[in-house]
Structure 1
Amino acid sequence: MGYPLDLEHICAIWLYCGKSCNVEFSKDQINFKHSKWIWLDWCLHNAVRTLCFHERREEAEMELYCGLKDVRLDNAKKEIKGGNFISHVSTSADIHVARIYRSDQGCILHFHPSMRRAINIYSCDVSWISPFGSEYEILFARSFVFGSEADHIQRKAWNAEIEEENEHTQTILLTSAEYNHFIERSIHVSAILDYTVDLNVIYVILNYGRIDDNGTTNVLFEFQEWKHQKDNLIKYEEKRKQFMESRCCNHHLNLFCIFLSETNLFGMKKTDIQLAIMFTVTFGLPFVEKDKKTWLKKR
């Protein structure tokens, strides 16, 4: 990664993670008093954004958690209208840490991996500077959205729904807008092919091909025929190292990008590796392997 941060960025993260001013800073942000801490807010946002672009977020598969004391929502979708963060949010990969912050009663925000992968949600690992490094702290930046309330809602980066609750704890699942928009259709197409196709391959066809479910299924049948030709699998093995060095970590999608480049199916004049970088690194893939099981269990 090198040294992408300036001194003011490092100081902002250090103040947020390790100093008592964090309590008042966070309280004022929740109460929309952003102007009171304008420089800390701005430097912290830029620090998170800078690290976000340097981290290998495309590999993120961890669930993250944030505990909120004495907070309970009656209707998550109604009370969290915009799907944007009004303050910086600290999360941990350890749910026990979130339970400590929740105390006896409260709420736990459960962050799906798509929240780390999304292009319009800035987050970064701050465990390298935090005095609580063992908590594996991931910091999500406050959202900066300009324009009318309608624009604010239209540009929302994530969705929230109550995952489970009892008299003491309410768990709210946060998923990226891309995940929420495409999960049901992706599962539907996956079911047609007996759940043998990677969900992110289906997502790429639906999103970038802009075709319906039947058209997507036809593309996948064509891809399956192409894939089972021996020479095509050899092609990928020969280029596998290049893909991995370019941060393209999904082998199923990498192979599909070779198919896409050869057939020019979407009319994108890019090489296979350029396509894989665009889908995987630049814009992000919303799904992880266990999403199939989780979705089927819910239904």
Structure 2
Amino acid sequence: MKELLSNVWVKRAVGVFNLVYFAVICMLTGATFLYDLEFTEGQEQSFFTLYVAASVIFLVLMIYSRDVIVTKIMSMVLPLVVFLLMLFNMYDWILIIPPLVMALVMFFVAGTHETAKVVMGTIYLLMYVLGLVVFFVFRLLFGGTSTYTELNANLDRNSDVYKFYSSEFTKICDVTRDDNVLSPNGKYRIIIYDVQNSDKGGVNICVVPHGQDKELRFFTLKQKGIKKTISNKGIRGVVPDVGWSVDEDGTLVVLYRLSPTSEQKKTSVTVMPDKQYLEFLGIR
């Protein structure tokens, strides 16, 4: 067994196998750049357990093959991938911590030349520090302090938003049912957002694509960055009436009434805006 484990070809094979973990982290980073990741109810613990277990196993394998060229290269590149993963999923520590620990340990443990470690370590230190500063500055400038919460039947009963709308929750469930918010052609969905900010807040009515989400075992990747704002004049605490209609010329329109006493308005939905890839910076 000792001879087998010390065999250079076994170590090289393990080094190549470690690419599986690197590929998964890269795919997860790319997926969360394009989509919002929402865990399936009750699956967070299972995912975290599997995620940590896989990270520990691959960490052991990478330490074993630390002198293999493939592992050396991964140890130099993984911190960059994890940095991007952190930017796209800020505060979602379940996704960030395991690969971050992996990247830190392997950067120092891998048999890479010390000069390369010093140079790349300096670059990554500056990138993490300055990059995060720039990230939060952009979030502050473009995202402000507004917090958007989707109003629907799945609203967290323990949240402050639910308490604020508790008397309107029955109406929220009625207005946001699928047969009311889905467009006749099934391509679009109306979403109502509660907006909390430093002012009095508000309610936004938006239209997003429907049917572009990707449902997986532990989570759903929800399309993001494509959103047409129908109205941002709603009164916080008042659930608007919304629905779909089709004009005589076949144009889809959203019908909405911001309050029981206001007049009904309509907005056509013909073309959706281009995808906003920088939404993770707070740019909407």
Q: TM-score under structure 2 normalisation?
A: 0.27
TM-score (norm 1): 0.26
Of Structure 1 and Structure 2, the greater strand share is in 2
Which structure would you say has the larger Rg? Answer: 2
